[in-house]
Chains A and B, each alone.
Chain A
Amino acid sequence: MSTNLRNLALVWAVPILLGIALATGLAWSRNTDSTAAVGETAGGPVQRWAKVSVEMPTSHAAFPAGNGAEIANGQCLICHSAGMVLRQPPLTLDEWTGEINKMRNSFGAPLPADQVAALARYLVGINGRQQSPGGPSAVDGQGS
Protein backbone atom coordinates (compact mmCIF):
# COMPACT_ATOMS: atom_id res chain seq x y z
CA MET A 1 0.00 0.00 0.00
CA SER A 2 1.50 3.32 -1.00
CA THR A 3 1.81 6.14 1.53
CA ASN A 4 -0.86 8.06 -0.32
CA LEU A 5 -3.30 5.22 -0.13
CA ARG A 6 -2.52 4.62 3.54
CA ASN A 7 -3.12 8.29 4.29
CA LEU A 8 -6.34 8.19 2.34
CA ALA A 9 -7.43 5.08 4.28
CA LEU A 10 -6.65 6.80 7.59
CA VAL A 11 -8.50 9.94 6.59
CA TRP A 12 -11.58 7.87 5.79
CA ALA A 13 -11.26 5.35 8.59
CA VAL A 14 -11.72 7.91 11.35
CA PRO A 15 -15.12 9.25 10.24
CA ILE A 16 -16.29 5.78 9.20
CA LEU A 17 -15.36 4.21 12.55
CA LEU A 18 -16.84 7.20 14.34
CA GLY A 19 -20.01 6.78 12.33
CA ILE A 20 -20.23 3.10 13.20
CA ALA A 21 -19.62 3.85 16.87
CA LEU A 22 -22.26 6.56 16.85
CA ALA A 23 -24.78 4.40 15.04
CA THR A 24 -24.17 1.50 17.42
CA GLY A 25 -24.40 3.80 20.40
CA LEU A 26 -27.65 5.27 19.15
CA ALA A 27 -29.10 1.89 18.33
CA TRP A 28 -28.04 0.62 21.74
CA SER A 29 -29.61 3.48 23.61
CA ARG A 30 -32.78 3.20 21.56
CA ASN A 31 -32.83 -0.50 22.28
CA THR A 32 -32.51 0.01 26.03
CA ASP A 33 -35.26 2.59 25.92
CA SER A 34 -37.69 0.24 24.27
CA THR A 35 -36.91 -2.91 26.20
CA ALA A 36 -35.77 -1.83 29.64
CA ALA A 37 -38.38 -2.30 32.30
CA VAL A 38 -37.06 -0.87 35.48
CA GLY A 39 -33.73 -0.27 37.11
CA GLU A 40 -30.57 1.67 37.10
CA THR A 41 -29.22 2.75 33.77
CA ALA A 42 -26.13 4.23 32.24
CA GLY A 43 -25.51 7.79 33.37
CA GLY A 44 -25.12 10.94 31.37
CA PRO A 45 -27.64 13.49 30.17
CA VAL A 46 -30.22 12.41 27.60
CA GLN A 47 -29.04 15.39 25.64
CA ARG A 48 -27.64 18.84 26.24
CA TRP A 49 -30.20 20.84 28.21
CA ALA A 50 -31.68 23.48 25.98
CA LYS A 51 -33.92 26.32 27.03
CA VAL A 52 -37.50 25.57 26.05
CA SER A 53 -39.74 28.43 24.98
CA VAL A 54 -43.17 27.85 23.52
CA GLU A 55 -46.24 29.77 22.56
CA MET A 56 -49.62 28.53 23.75
CA PRO A 57 -52.64 28.84 21.50
CA THR A 58 -55.29 31.21 22.78
CA SER A 59 -59.01 30.58 22.82
CA HIS A 60 -61.26 33.11 21.12
CA ALA A 61 -64.42 31.29 22.07
CA ALA A 62 -67.02 33.40 23.85
CA PHE A 63 -70.23 32.30 25.54
CA PRO A 64 -73.36 32.31 23.36
CA ALA A 65 -75.60 35.36 23.60
CA GLY A 66 -78.29 35.38 26.26
CA ASN A 67 -79.30 36.84 29.58
CA GLY A 68 -76.23 36.50 31.78
CA ALA A 69 -73.69 35.94 28.98
CA GLU A 70 -71.88 39.08 30.11
CA ILE A 71 -71.37 37.55 33.57
CA ALA A 72 -70.00 34.34 32.05
CA ASN A 73 -67.68 36.22 29.68
CA GLY A 74 -66.53 38.57 32.42
CA GLN A 75 -66.05 36.02 35.19
CA CYS A 76 -65.51 32.45 33.93
CA LEU A 77 -62.88 33.50 31.37
CA ILE A 78 -60.61 34.92 34.10
CA CYS A 79 -59.38 31.42 34.92
CA HIS A 80 -60.36 29.17 32.00
CA SER A 81 -61.52 29.21 28.42
CA ALA A 82 -65.23 28.87 27.58
CA GLY A 83 -64.81 25.39 26.11
CA MET A 84 -64.59 23.84 29.55
CA VAL A 85 -68.14 25.00 30.27
CA LEU A 86 -69.54 24.39 26.81
CA ARG A 87 -68.28 20.77 26.76
CA GLN A 88 -69.96 19.80 30.03
CA PRO A 89 -72.94 17.44 30.04
CA PRO A 90 -76.27 19.23 30.47
CA LEU A 91 -76.64 20.04 34.19
CA THR A 92 -79.56 21.07 36.38
CA LEU A 93 -79.93 24.49 38.02
CA ASP A 94 -78.69 23.03 41.33
CA GLU A 95 -75.71 21.39 39.67
CA TRP A 96 -74.68 24.55 37.83
CA THR A 97 -75.11 26.51 41.08
CA GLY A 98 -72.83 23.97 42.76
CA GLU A 99 -70.20 24.38 40.07
CA ILE A 100 -70.31 28.18 40.32
CA ASN A 101 -69.98 28.06 44.09
CA LYS A 102 -67.05 25.65 43.78
CA MET A 103 -65.30 28.25 41.62
CA ARG A 104 -66.03 30.97 44.20
CA ASN A 105 -65.30 29.03 47.39
CA SER A 106 -62.43 26.78 46.33
CA PHE A 107 -60.69 28.81 43.64
CA GLY A 108 -61.41 32.38 44.69
CA ALA A 109 -63.49 33.45 41.68
CA PRO A 110 -64.43 37.10 42.33
CA LEU A 111 -68.03 36.56 41.22
CA PRO A 112 -70.33 38.56 43.55
CA ALA A 113 -72.78 36.40 45.50
CA ASP A 114 -75.75 38.29 44.06
CA GLN A 115 -74.80 37.19 40.53
CA VAL A 116 -74.66 33.44 41.22
CA ALA A 117 -78.35 32.82 40.53
CA ALA A 118 -78.32 34.81 37.28
CA LEU A 119 -75.23 32.96 36.02
CA ALA A 120 -76.73 29.58 36.95
CA ARG A 121 -79.94 30.42 35.08
CA TYR A 122 -77.89 31.44 32.04
CA LEU A 123 -75.89 28.17 32.09
CA VAL A 124 -79.05 26.09 32.39
CA GLY A 125 -80.36 28.04 29.41
CA ILE A 126 -77.39 27.16 27.20
CA ASN A 127 -76.61 23.68 28.58
CA GLY A 128 -79.19 22.54 31.08
CA ARG A 129 -81.54 19.70 31.91
CA GLN A 130 -84.41 18.96 34.24
CA GLN A 131 -83.83 16.75 37.25
CA SER A 132 -83.35 13.24 35.87
CA PRO A 133 -85.47 10.39 37.21
CA GLY A 134 -82.24 8.56 38.04
CA GLY A 135 -81.42 11.09 40.74
CA PRO A 136 -78.84 13.83 40.97
CA SER A 137 -75.48 13.60 39.27
CA ALA A 138 -74.06 14.61 42.62
CA VAL A 139 -71.79 17.57 42.08
CA ASP A 140 -69.65 16.84 45.10
CA GLY A 141 -67.94 20.21 45.35
CA GLN A 142 -64.41 18.95 44.82
CA GLY A 143 -61.82 21.04 43.12
CA SER A 144 -60.95 18.63 40.43
Chain B
Amino acid sequence: MGLFGASAWKAAAATFAELPFVNGRRELVTNFPQKGAMLLQRTRPPLLETPFEVFDQGVFTPTDRFYVRWHLANIPNSVDPATFRLNIRGHVRQPISLTLDDLVREFRPFEIAAVNQCSGNSRGFFSPRVPGGEWANGAMGNALWKGVRLKDVLDRTGVKAGAPQVRFRGLDTGAIPQTPNFMKSLAIDHARDGEVMIAYAMNGDPLPLLNGFPLRLVVPGWYATYWVKMLDDIEVLDKPDDNFWTTKAYLIPDTPFANVQPGQQGVKMVPINRMLPRSFFTNVQDGAVFKVGQATTVRGIAFGGDTGVAKVLFTSDAAGPWQEARLGPDHGKYGFRQWEVPLRLSSRGPHKLMIKAVNTAGSAQPDHANWNGAGFMRNVVESVSVQAT
Protein backbone atom coordinates (compact mmCIF):
# COMPACT_ATOMS: atom_id res chain seq x y z
CA MET B 1 0.00 0.00 0.00
CA GLY B 2 2.80 2.34 0.95
CA LEU B 3 4.63 1.85 -2.30
CA PHE B 4 1.51 1.99 -4.38
CA GLY B 5 0.42 5.14 -2.60
CA ALA B 6 3.78 6.81 -3.20
CA SER B 7 3.83 6.08 -6.92
CA ALA B 8 0.21 7.11 -7.34
CA TRP B 9 1.01 10.38 -5.64
CA LYS B 10 4.04 10.84 -7.86
CA ALA B 11 2.00 10.21 -10.99
CA ALA B 12 -0.61 12.70 -9.93
CA ALA B 13 1.78 15.50 -8.97
CA ALA B 14 2.75 17.46 -12.05
CA THR B 15 6.15 19.13 -12.10
CA PHE B 16 6.36 22.72 -13.25
CA ALA B 17 9.15 25.05 -14.21
CA GLU B 18 8.84 28.80 -13.83
CA LEU B 19 10.37 30.43 -16.89
CA PRO B 20 11.55 33.91 -15.84
CA PHE B 21 8.89 36.04 -17.57
CA VAL B 22 5.22 36.87 -17.04
CA ASN B 23 2.96 33.80 -17.54
CA GLY B 24 6.05 31.60 -17.73
CA ARG B 25 4.80 28.56 -15.81
CA ARG B 26 5.38 25.43 -17.90
CA GLU B 27 4.67 21.79 -17.10
CA LEU B 28 7.52 19.30 -17.38
CA VAL B 29 5.95 16.46 -19.37
CA THR B 30 7.12 12.95 -20.23
CA ASN B 31 4.17 11.75 -22.31
CA PHE B 32 5.39 12.62 -25.80
CA PRO B 33 6.58 9.65 -27.88
CA GLN B 34 10.36 9.05 -28.07
CA LYS B 35 10.91 12.07 -25.80
CA GLY B 36 12.19 12.44 -22.26
CA ALA B 37 11.18 15.21 -19.87
CA MET B 38 10.31 18.36 -21.84
CA LEU B 39 8.73 21.72 -21.08
CA LEU B 40 5.25 21.83 -22.56
CA GLN B 41 4.62 24.94 -24.64
CA ARG B 42 1.74 23.47 -26.65
CA THR B 43 0.25 19.98 -26.96
CA ARG B 44 -1.22 20.26 -30.48
CA PRO B 45 0.64 20.76 -32.70
CA PRO B 46 3.52 19.99 -30.34
CA LEU B 47 5.88 22.68 -29.08
CA LEU B 48 8.31 21.16 -26.56
CA GLU B 49 11.23 23.04 -25.04
CA THR B 50 14.50 21.48 -23.86
CA PRO B 51 14.96 22.14 -20.12
CA PHE B 52 18.07 24.30 -19.95
CA GLU B 53 20.05 22.08 -17.56
CA VAL B 54 20.33 19.55 -20.41
CA PHE B 55 22.81 21.89 -22.14
CA ASP B 56 25.27 21.49 -19.25
CA GLN B 57 25.68 17.78 -20.07
CA GLY B 58 27.73 18.27 -23.23
CA VAL B 59 27.73 19.85 -26.65
CA PHE B 60 25.53 17.23 -28.33
CA THR B 61 21.92 17.56 -27.20
CA PRO B 62 20.47 14.12 -26.40
CA THR B 63 18.01 13.17 -29.11
CA ASP B 64 15.22 12.42 -26.64
CA ARG B 65 15.59 15.89 -25.11
CA PHE B 66 15.89 17.78 -28.40
CA TYR B 67 13.24 20.50 -28.71
CA VAL B 68 10.18 20.03 -30.91
CA ARG B 69 8.34 22.58 -33.02
CA TRP B 70 5.49 21.90 -35.47
CA HIS B 71 3.31 24.43 -37.29
CA LEU B 72 0.47 22.24 -38.54
CA ALA B 73 -1.72 19.85 -36.56
CA ASN B 74 -2.03 16.99 -39.02
CA ILE B 75 1.20 15.09 -38.34
CA PRO B 76 1.28 11.43 -39.42
CA ASN B 77 1.43 9.14 -36.35
CA SER B 78 3.15 6.49 -38.39
CA VAL B 79 5.73 6.39 -41.16
CA ASP B 80 6.54 3.13 -42.93
CA PRO B 81 9.96 2.99 -44.62
CA ALA B 82 8.59 0.26 -46.90
CA THR B 83 6.28 2.74 -48.61
CA PHE B 84 7.96 6.08 -47.88
CA ARG B 85 9.41 7.89 -50.92
CA LEU B 86 11.37 11.10 -51.28
CA ASN B 87 10.35 12.74 -54.56
CA ILE B 88 12.57 15.20 -56.42
CA ARG B 89 10.77 16.87 -59.28
CA GLY B 90 9.98 20.15 -61.03
CA HIS B 91 12.43 21.99 -63.26
CA VAL B 92 14.64 18.91 -63.69
CA ARG B 93 15.64 16.60 -66.51
CA GLN B 94 14.56 13.40 -64.76
CA PRO B 95 12.27 13.37 -61.71
CA ILE B 96 13.24 10.66 -59.24
CA SER B 97 11.62 8.88 -56.32
CA LEU B 98 13.92 7.44 -53.67
CA THR B 99 13.47 4.97 -50.83
CA LEU B 100 15.43 5.36 -47.61
CA ASP B 101 17.65 2.48 -48.67
CA ASP B 102 18.29 4.20 -52.01
CA LEU B 103 19.55 7.25 -50.11
CA VAL B 104 21.79 5.15 -47.90
CA ARG B 105 23.17 2.89 -50.64
CA GLU B 106 23.41 5.09 -53.69
CA PHE B 107 24.81 8.34 -52.29
CA ARG B 108 28.00 9.11 -50.42
CA PRO B 109 27.15 9.58 -46.74
CA PHE B 110 27.87 12.97 -45.24
CA GLU B 111 27.76 14.17 -41.66
CA ILE B 112 28.00 17.47 -39.88
CA ALA B 113 27.57 18.82 -36.36
CA ALA B 114 25.12 21.72 -36.49
CA VAL B 115 22.91 23.77 -34.20
CA ASN B 116 19.22 23.76 -35.01
CA GLN B 117 17.64 26.84 -33.45
CA CYS B 118 14.06 28.08 -33.72
CA SER B 119 13.82 31.58 -35.21
CA GLY B 120 11.84 32.55 -32.11
CA ASN B 121 14.10 30.94 -29.51
CA SER B 122 14.04 33.14 -26.36
CA ARG B 123 10.92 35.03 -27.51
CA GLY B 124 9.59 35.09 -23.93
CA PHE B 125 12.42 37.46 -22.99
CA PHE B 126 11.41 40.14 -25.51
CA SER B 127 10.55 43.46 -23.95
CA PRO B 128 7.97 44.61 -24.78
CA ARG B 129 6.60 41.10 -25.10
CA VAL B 130 5.39 39.77 -28.45
CA PRO B 131 2.95 36.93 -29.18
CA GLY B 132 4.09 33.55 -30.49
CA GLY B 133 5.68 30.46 -28.97
CA GLU B 134 6.78 31.82 -25.59
CA TRP B 135 10.11 30.00 -25.31
CA ALA B 136 12.92 30.60 -22.87
CA ASN B 137 16.36 29.67 -24.29
CA GLY B 138 15.66 25.98 -24.90
CA ALA B 139 14.29 26.05 -28.46
CA MET B 140 17.67 24.96 -29.80
CA GLY B 141 19.87 21.90 -29.92
CA ASN B 142 23.06 20.59 -31.45
CA ALA B 143 23.28 17.19 -33.12
CA LEU B 144 25.56 15.20 -35.36
CA TRP B 145 23.45 14.91 -38.49
CA LYS B 146 24.11 12.08 -40.92
CA GLY B 147 22.65 11.66 -44.37
CA VAL B 148 23.40 12.77 -47.90
CA ARG B 149 24.26 16.07 -49.51
CA LEU B 150 21.30 17.78 -51.15
CA LYS B 151 23.67 18.67 -54.00
CA ASP B 152 24.27 14.99 -54.80
CA VAL B 153 20.54 14.29 -54.95
CA LEU B 154 19.88 17.34 -57.11
CA ASP B 155 22.72 16.36 -59.45
CA ARG B 156 21.18 12.90 -59.88
CA THR B 157 17.90 14.42 -61.02
CA GLY B 158 19.54 17.01 -63.27
CA VAL B 159 18.52 20.57 -62.45
CA LYS B 160 17.66 22.52 -65.63
CA ALA B 161 19.20 25.91 -66.29
CA GLY B 162 17.47 28.98 -64.87
CA ALA B 163 16.03 27.44 -61.70
CA PRO B 164 16.08 30.19 -59.04
CA GLN B 165 15.00 28.17 -55.98
CA VAL B 166 14.34 24.72 -54.56
CA ARG B 167 11.22 24.21 -52.42
CA PHE B 168 10.86 21.67 -49.61
CA ARG B 169 7.76 20.10 -48.15
CA GLY B 170 7.06 17.47 -45.49
CA LEU B 171 4.22 15.07 -44.72
CA ASP B 172 2.42 17.37 -42.26
CA THR B 173 -0.71 19.27 -43.28
CA GLY B 174 -3.13 21.68 -41.64
CA ALA B 175 -6.12 20.62 -39.60
CA ILE B 176 -8.35 22.25 -42.24
CA PRO B 177 -7.73 22.39 -45.98
CA GLN B 178 -7.69 26.20 -45.99
CA THR B 179 -4.39 26.26 -44.05
CA PRO B 180 -1.41 26.63 -46.40
CA ASN B 181 0.92 23.63 -46.53
CA PHE B 182 4.20 24.26 -44.78
CA MET B 183 6.86 24.76 -47.46
CA LYS B 184 10.19 26.58 -47.44
CA SER B 185 12.60 27.43 -50.24
CA LEU B 186 16.32 27.98 -50.61
CA ALA B 187 18.17 29.71 -53.43
CA ILE B 188 19.54 27.19 -55.91
CA ASP B 189 23.19 28.02 -55.14
CA HIS B 190 22.57 27.60 -51.41
CA ALA B 191 20.81 24.27 -52.02
CA ARG B 192 23.86 23.11 -54.00
CA ASP B 193 26.56 24.41 -51.64
CA GLY B 194 27.57 20.90 -50.50
CA GLU B 195 26.65 21.55 -46.86
CA VAL B 196 22.84 21.61 -47.02
CA MET B 197 21.89 17.97 -46.52
CA ILE B 198 19.09 15.48 -46.09
CA ALA B 199 19.55 13.78 -42.71
CA TYR B 200 18.38 10.26 -41.92
CA ALA B 201 20.11 10.11 -38.54
CA MET B 202 20.87 12.39 -35.62
CA ASN B 203 23.47 11.48 -33.00
CA GLY B 204 23.76 8.02 -34.56
CA ASP B 205 20.09 7.04 -34.47
CA PRO B 206 17.10 7.51 -36.76
CA LEU B 207 15.30 10.77 -36.03
CA PRO B 208 12.45 10.64 -33.52
CA LEU B 209 9.14 11.09 -35.33
CA LEU B 210 8.66 14.44 -33.60
CA ASN B 211 12.03 15.63 -34.93
CA GLY B 212 11.12 14.65 -38.47
CA PHE B 213 11.45 10.90 -39.02
CA PRO B 214 12.49 9.64 -41.48
CA LEU B 215 14.17 12.59 -43.22
CA ARG B 216 14.90 16.17 -42.32
CA LEU B 217 16.52 18.95 -44.28
CA VAL B 218 19.61 20.28 -42.49
CA VAL B 219 20.64 23.84 -43.35
CA PRO B 220 23.81 24.50 -41.32
CA GLY B 221 24.05 28.02 -39.94
CA TRP B 222 20.46 28.95 -40.84
CA TYR B 223 17.42 29.16 -38.58
CA ALA B 224 15.38 26.00 -38.10
CA THR B 225 12.38 27.18 -40.12
CA TYR B 226 14.27 25.93 -43.19
CA TRP B 227 15.01 22.50 -41.69
CA VAL B 228 11.84 20.89 -43.07
CA LYS B 229 10.79 17.80 -41.11
CA MET B 230 9.35 14.54 -42.55
CA LEU B 231 10.77 15.78 -45.84
CA ASP B 232 9.20 13.90 -48.74
CA ASP B 233 8.99 16.42 -51.57
CA ILE B 234 11.72 18.52 -53.19
CA GLU B 235 10.57 20.73 -56.04
CA VAL B 236 13.03 22.60 -58.23
CA LEU B 237 11.21 25.79 -59.18
CA ASP B 238 11.37 27.60 -62.51
CA LYS B 239 10.32 30.90 -60.92
CA PRO B 240 10.68 32.38 -57.43
CA ASP B 241 8.56 30.75 -54.73
CA ASP B 242 5.41 32.72 -53.96
CA ASN B 243 3.97 30.44 -51.25
CA PHE B 244 2.76 31.92 -47.96
CA TRP B 245 5.49 30.49 -45.71
CA THR B 246 8.26 31.87 -47.92
CA THR B 247 6.87 35.29 -48.82
CA LYS B 248 4.68 36.31 -45.85
CA ALA B 249 5.89 34.39 -42.82
CA TYR B 250 9.26 34.36 -41.12
CA LEU B 251 10.20 37.84 -42.33
CA ILE B 252 12.67 40.01 -40.42
CA PRO B 253 13.55 43.69 -40.60
CA ASP B 254 16.46 44.13 -43.01
CA THR B 255 18.56 45.80 -40.30
CA PRO B 256 21.62 44.73 -38.24
CA PHE B 257 20.50 41.98 -35.79
CA ALA B 258 16.96 42.40 -37.26
CA ASN B 259 16.62 45.16 -34.70
CA VAL B 260 13.90 47.85 -34.78
CA GLN B 261 12.14 50.10 -32.28
CA PRO B 262 8.73 48.89 -31.04
CA GLY B 263 6.10 50.45 -33.29
CA GLN B 264 8.61 51.48 -35.96
CA GLN B 265 6.97 51.58 -39.41
CA GLY B 266 8.16 51.37 -43.00
CA VAL B 267 11.03 48.94 -42.46
CA LYS B 268 12.02 46.73 -45.38
CA MET B 269 11.34 43.08 -44.54
CA VAL B 270 13.29 40.08 -45.86
CA PRO B 271 13.10 36.31 -45.22
CA ILE B 272 14.93 35.24 -42.07
CA ASN B 273 18.24 33.58 -42.92
CA ARG B 274 21.63 33.21 -41.19
CA MET B 275 21.94 32.70 -37.45
CA LEU B 276 23.73 35.08 -35.10
CA PRO B 277 26.35 34.18 -32.47
CA ARG B 278 25.13 33.29 -28.96
CA SER B 279 26.55 32.05 -25.66
CA PHE B 280 24.98 30.83 -22.42
CA PHE B 281 25.85 29.92 -18.87
CA THR B 282 24.96 26.30 -18.14
CA ASN B 283 26.19 25.69 -14.58
CA VAL B 284 25.25 28.99 -12.90
CA GLN B 285 21.80 30.50 -12.57
CA ASP B 286 20.42 33.79 -11.29
CA GLY B 287 20.56 33.86 -7.50
CA ALA B 288 23.58 31.56 -7.14
CA VAL B 289 25.64 32.24 -4.01
CA PHE B 290 29.43 31.99 -3.85
CA LYS B 291 31.80 32.39 -0.90
CA VAL B 292 34.16 35.34 -1.16
CA GLY B 293 37.56 34.08 -2.33
CA GLN B 294 36.23 30.61 -3.20
CA ALA B 295 37.66 29.21 -6.44
CA THR B 296 35.09 27.78 -8.82
CA THR B 297 34.63 27.09 -12.52
CA VAL B 298 31.90 28.72 -14.53
CA ARG B 299 31.02 27.09 -17.83
CA GLY B 300 28.57 27.12 -20.67
CA ILE B 301 28.07 26.73 -24.39
CA ALA B 302 28.47 29.03 -27.36
CA PHE B 303 27.92 28.93 -31.08
CA GLY B 304 28.94 31.27 -33.84
CA GLY B 305 25.69 31.28 -35.83
CA ASP B 306 26.53 30.96 -39.51
CA THR B 307 30.23 30.41 -38.84
CA GLY B 308 32.56 29.25 -36.10
CA VAL B 309 33.24 30.66 -32.65
CA ALA B 310 36.37 32.86 -32.60
CA LYS B 311 36.29 33.62 -28.89
CA VAL B 312 34.02 33.74 -25.89
CA LEU B 313 34.45 36.66 -23.49
CA PHE B 314 33.56 36.65 -19.80
CA THR B 315 33.37 39.33 -17.13
CA SER B 316 32.18 39.46 -13.55
CA ASP B 317 32.05 43.24 -13.64
CA ALA B 318 29.94 45.18 -16.15
CA ALA B 319 32.70 47.81 -16.23
CA GLY B 320 35.10 45.18 -17.51
CA PRO B 321 37.66 44.00 -18.28
CA TRP B 322 36.50 41.02 -20.35
CA GLN B 323 38.64 37.88 -20.27
CA GLU B 324 38.78 35.11 -22.84
CA ALA B 325 37.19 31.84 -21.80
CA ARG B 326 38.91 28.53 -22.49
CA LEU B 327 37.16 26.70 -25.32
CA GLY B 328 36.41 22.97 -25.44
CA PRO B 329 36.91 20.65 -28.44
CA ASP B 330 35.82 21.96 -31.84
CA HIS B 331 33.32 19.57 -33.46
CA GLY B 332 32.82 21.78 -36.50
CA LYS B 333 32.01 25.42 -37.03
CA TYR B 334 28.21 25.04 -36.92
CA GLY B 335 28.00 23.20 -33.60
CA PHE B 336 27.99 24.12 -29.93
CA ARG B 337 31.35 24.80 -28.32
CA GLN B 338 31.81 24.44 -24.58
CA TRP B 339 33.57 27.27 -22.73
CA GLU B 340 34.82 27.63 -19.15
CA VAL B 341 36.52 30.19 -16.94
CA PRO B 342 37.94 30.01 -13.41
CA LEU B 343 36.13 32.41 -11.07
CA ARG B 344 37.02 33.81 -7.65
CA LEU B 345 34.84 36.67 -6.43
CA SER B 346 36.92 38.88 -4.17
CA SER B 347 34.28 41.26 -2.83
CA ARG B 348 31.11 40.69 -0.84
CA GLY B 349 27.79 41.58 -2.48
CA PRO B 350 26.00 41.24 -5.83
CA HIS B 351 27.91 40.47 -9.01
CA LYS B 352 26.71 40.30 -12.58
CA LEU B 353 28.42 37.60 -14.63
CA MET B 354 28.29 38.22 -18.38
CA ILE B 355 29.18 36.12 -21.42
CA LYS B 356 29.64 37.20 -25.03
CA ALA B 357 30.52 35.16 -28.12
CA VAL B 358 32.39 36.60 -31.08
CA ASN B 359 32.29 34.57 -34.30
CA THR B 360 35.04 34.11 -36.88
CA ALA B 361 33.42 36.75 -39.11
CA GLY B 362 33.87 39.27 -36.28
CA SER B 363 30.21 39.48 -35.28
CA ALA B 364 29.76 39.83 -31.51
CA GLN B 365 26.64 39.48 -29.38
CA PRO B 366 25.18 42.97 -28.77
CA ASP B 367 25.19 44.52 -25.27
CA HIS B 368 21.56 45.63 -25.68
CA ALA B 369 18.78 43.25 -26.67
CA ASN B 370 17.71 43.31 -30.30
CA TRP B 371 13.92 43.57 -30.79
CA ASN B 372 11.39 42.99 -33.55
CA GLY B 373 7.65 42.36 -33.65
CA ALA B 374 7.90 38.67 -34.46
CA GLY B 375 10.29 37.90 -31.62
CA PHE B 376 13.05 36.52 -33.87
CA MET B 377 16.84 36.26 -33.57
CA ARG B 378 17.41 37.33 -29.98
CA ASN B 379 21.16 37.16 -29.33
CA VAL B 380 21.95 39.72 -26.62
CA VAL B 381 24.91 39.17 -24.26
CA GLU B 382 23.67 36.80 -21.53
CA SER B 383 24.09 37.56 -17.85
CA VAL B 384 23.38 36.00 -14.47
CA SER B 385 23.12 37.84 -11.17
CA VAL B 386 24.93 36.12 -8.30
CA GLN B 387 25.92 36.94 -4.71
CA ALA B 388 29.23 36.62 -2.89
CA THR B 389 28.98 36.22 0.88
A residues contacting B by CB (< 8 A) are: 29-30, 33-47, 49-59, 61, 78-81, 83-84, 87-91, 95, 99, 106-110, 127, 132, 134-140, 142-144
Q: Are A143 and B111 closer than 8 Å at their CB atoms?
A: no
Q: Are A138 and B175 closer than 8 Å at their CB atoms?
A: no
- Report if B16 contacts A (CB, 8 A): no
* Distance in Å: Cβ of A42 to nearest Cβ of chain B: 7
- Report if B278 contacts A (CB, 8 A): no
In whole angstroms, what is the CA distance A8 to B294 when docked? 62
**Nearest B residue to A34, CB-CB:** B60
Q: Are B78 and A137 closer than 8 Å at their CB atoms?
A: no
Q: Are B23 and A87 closer than 8 Å at their CB atoms?
A: yes
Of A37, A54, A78, which one neighbours B330 at CB under 8 angstroms?
A37
**Nearest A residue to B267, CB-CB:** A140
Of A34, A49, A81, A110, which one neighbours B44 at CB under 8 angstroms?
A81
* Distance in Å: Cβ of B189 to nearest Cβ of chain A: 19
Q: Are B131 and A89 closer than 8 Å at their CB atoms?
A: yes
* Distance in Å: Cβ of A57 to nearest Cβ of chain B: 5
Whether A99 contacts B131 in the complex (CB less than 8 A), given A37-B332, A108-B179, comes out as: yes
- Report if B249 contacts A (CB, 8 A): yes
Q: Are A83 and B109 closer than 8 Å at their CB atoms?
A: no
Whether A107 contacts B113 in the complex (CB less than 8 A), given A51-B81, A56-B75, A57-B43, comes out as: no
B residues contacting A by CB (< 8 A) are: 21-23, 26, 29, 31-34, 40-47, 60, 71, 73, 75, 77-82, 100-101, 104-105, 108-113, 119-120, 124, 126-134, 144, 146, 174-180, 200-201, 203-206, 209-210, 213-214, 225, 244-245, 248-251, 262-263, 329-332, 334-335, 372-374
* Distance in Å: Cβ of B330 to nearest Cβ of chain A: 7
Q: Are B32 and A56 closer than 8 Å at their CB atoms?
A: yes
In the assembled complex, which residues on chain A have CB atoms less than 8 Å from the CB atom of B79? Answer: 51-52
Of A52, A80, A89, A140, which one neighbours B213 at CB under 8 angstroms?
A52
**Nearest A residue to B210, CB-CB:** A54
* Distance in Å: Cβ of A46 to nearest Cβ of chain B: 4
* Distance in Å: Cβ of B71 to nearest Cβ of chain A: 8
Whether A127 contacts B144 in the complex (CB less than 8 A), given A38-B332, A110-B178, A139-B131, comes out as: no
Interface majority SS (helix, strand, loop, mixed), chain A: loop
In whole angstroms, what is the CA distance A90 to B130 when docked? 9
In whole angstroms, what is the CA distance A87 to B104 when docked? 42
Whether A83 contacts B128 in the complex (CB less than 8 A), given A34-B60, A134-B262, A140-B374, comes out as: no
Whether A79 contacts B40 in the complex (CB less than 8 A), given A36-B144, A43-B109, A56-B75, comes out as: no
In whole angstroms, what is the CA distance A107 to B119 when docked? 20
In the assembled complex, which residues on chain B have CB atoms less than 8 Å from the CB atom of A99? Answer: 131
In whole angstroms, what is the CA distance A136 to B263 when docked? 6
In the assembled complex, which residues on chain B have CB atoms less than 8 Å from the CB atom of A55? Answer: 33, 77
Q: Are A138 and B250 closer than 8 Å at their CB atoms?
A: no
In the assembled complex, which residues on chain A have CB atoms less than 8 Å from the CB atom of B329? Answer: 35
Of B33, B112, B134, B332, which one neighbours A89 at CB under 8 angstroms?
B134
In the assembled complex, which residues on chain A have CB atoms less than 8 Å from the CB atom of B330? Answer: 37
* Distance in Å: Cβ of A48 to nearest Cβ of chain B: 9
Of A51, A53, A90, A109, which one neighbours B22 at CB under 8 angstroms?
A90
Q: Are A78 and B175 closer than 8 Å at their CB atoms?
A: yes
Whether A81 contacts B109 in the complex (CB less than 8 A), given A46-B206, A142-B250, A142-B251, comes out as: no
- Of residues A83, A91, A132, which shows the largest number of chain B Cβ atoms within 10 Å of its Cβ? A83
Of A46, A88, A132, which one neighbours B200 at CB under 8 angstroms?
A46
In whole angstroms, what is the CA distance A91 to B206 when docked? 41
Q: Are B146 and A46 closer than 8 Å at their CB atoms?
A: yes
Sample 7 A-B pairs with CB under 8 A, ordered by A number: A41-B109, A46-B146, A52-B78, A54-B34, A80-B45, A138-B128, A140-B372
In the assembled complex, which residues on chain B have CB atoms less than 8 Å from the CB atom of A37? Answer: 112-113, 330-332, 335
Q: Are A57 and B32 closer than 8 Å at their CB atoms?
A: yes
Q: Are B249 and A54 closer than 8 Å at their CB atoms?
A: no
* Distance in Å: Cβ of B358 to nearest Cβ of chain A: 20
Q: Other CB < 8 Å A-B pairs besides A41-B109, A110-B176, 11 of them?
A: A35-B331, A45-B100, A47-B205, A49-B100, A57-B29, A89-B21, A90-B22, A99-B131, A106-B249, A108-B179, A142-B250
